[in-house]
Amino acid sequence: MNTHFKSGNWLSRLSLLLISCVATTTFAGVDTTLALPAEGENLSPEEIARQVYFANHFYAFKNFSIERRGRTMTVLINRSSSGKVSSTALERHLNNNYQLAEDETIQSRDLAIFHSGKLRGTGMLITEYRDDEKNKDYMIWLPALRKIRRFAQPQHDDAWGGSVFTFGDVTLRKPDDEEHELIGKKKLRTCLGAIDDLENKHYRYVGELPERSCRHIDKQVYGLKSTTKFDYWWYDYRISYIDTTSFADYRTLYFKNDELIKVIDRDWGLVDSDRESDPRALFWKYWYGLDLRTGQESWAVIPKKVVSYNKKRRKSFWTEKTLRKIKR
């Protein structure tokens, strides 16, 4: 346990894990057209929350991928309270470039392919529509059956891939699901979390795991308190520390009855050091989560070499055709 913080059936279970790793969502007012605020502009708490959503859904890119490069891939590591470790390797491809008349009803398509364990050879394709009233399409390719199945959207509080992260944490929570309050600005003072005894260790798929990130110390951040609108929810409010320039949310603290119950840290990296580029054009280097109630830890690590963006790919790549080509 990290000490740096003091304070159905088999098919349905499989679908939950797969949907969790790739699902994205949107809400009215946040899409690829959301403008970057002017430097020094005073933003409302709601506007800050929308900018964070924009960054986390990679709307600064026409398309964004975490690919497979040889044997190097993204890996999600879960450590239970008993110390048991499991991992899943995957690649993910997101396409936000649907502005032409023939596909203007589509907001984005998201494709994931799994390369390890029982999920090896399985794929997921999600289509999201601009019409908020239209349901998203969730399709999963099951290699053992060589068939595609469709599934409903998971619940916000379902575990994401068996991890500390929930679907709400990763994808489904919208700014409108919470009431936001700006509690001030400060400098980030501590390093981000990581699984202590795995730092800098050799690990399958990523080569060497990173050490905990201290790169963001002294960066100016907003403190944003977000109180859930859901009744009888697993948390009452959360406090996020958000970069005032890029809107990267480095740390989120979850509270129930004013007690800290969970921490999620995100190490963000710039894909382009060009000062003229959008500062929200970021990628996740890793996510770290700690559930203080159970001691469970999760660490999703994305090597820089597998990150690509704005590639010239046919839109047919994001179709059932690609799912059917996946090799086990």
Q: Is residue 2 part of a domain?
A: no
pLDDT of residue 22: 46
| Distance separating alpha carbons of residues 9 and 13, to the nearest angstrom | 6
Low-confidence ranges of the chain (pLDDT < 70): 1-30, 100-102, 132-133, 135, 273-276, 328
| Distance separating alpha carbons of residues 149 and 77, to the nearest angstrom | 27
Q: Is residue 270 part of a domain?
A: yes
| Distance separating alpha carbons of residues 31 and 208, to the nearest angstrom | 35
The answer to whether 99 and 117 have CB atoms below 8 angstroms apart is no
pLDDT of residue 128: 81
Beta bridge partners of 268: 284
Domain that holds residue 214: 10-325
pLDDT of residue 6: 41
Residue 123: exposed, middle, or buried by beta-carbon count in 10 A (0-12, 13-18, 19+)?
Answer: buried
Q: Is residue 30 part of a domain?
A: yes
| Distance separating alpha carbons of residues 18 and 66, to the nearest angstrom | 16
Beta bridge partners of 30: 27
The tokens of 14 are what? 């499989």
pLDDT of residue 8: 45
Q: Is residue 127 part of a domain?
A: yes
Q: Is residue 5 part of a domain?
A: no
pLDDT of residue 195: 96
Distances (CA, A) of 184 to 27, 45, 51, 214: 26, 10, 17, 22
The residue whose two tokens read 């589509």 is 106
Per-residue pLDDT tens digits for 145-159: 999 999 877 788 888
The residue whose two tokens read 């502009």 is 41
- Whose CA is closest to 58, among 8, 93, 102, 19? 93
Q: Is residue 3 part of a domain?
A: no
Q: Is residue 1 part of a domain?
A: no
Residue 36: exposed, middle, or buried by beta-carbon count in 10 A (0-12, 13-18, 19+)?
Answer: middle
**The domain that contains 101 carries what CATH number?**
2.50.20.10
Strands 282-291 and 259-270, bridge-based pairing: antiparallel
The tokens of 130 are what? 């601009």
Q: Is residue 4 part of a domain?
A: no
Per-residue pLDDT tens digits for 163-202: 999 988 987 788 999 999 999 999 999 999 999 999 999 9
Could you give the number of structural domains in the chain? 1
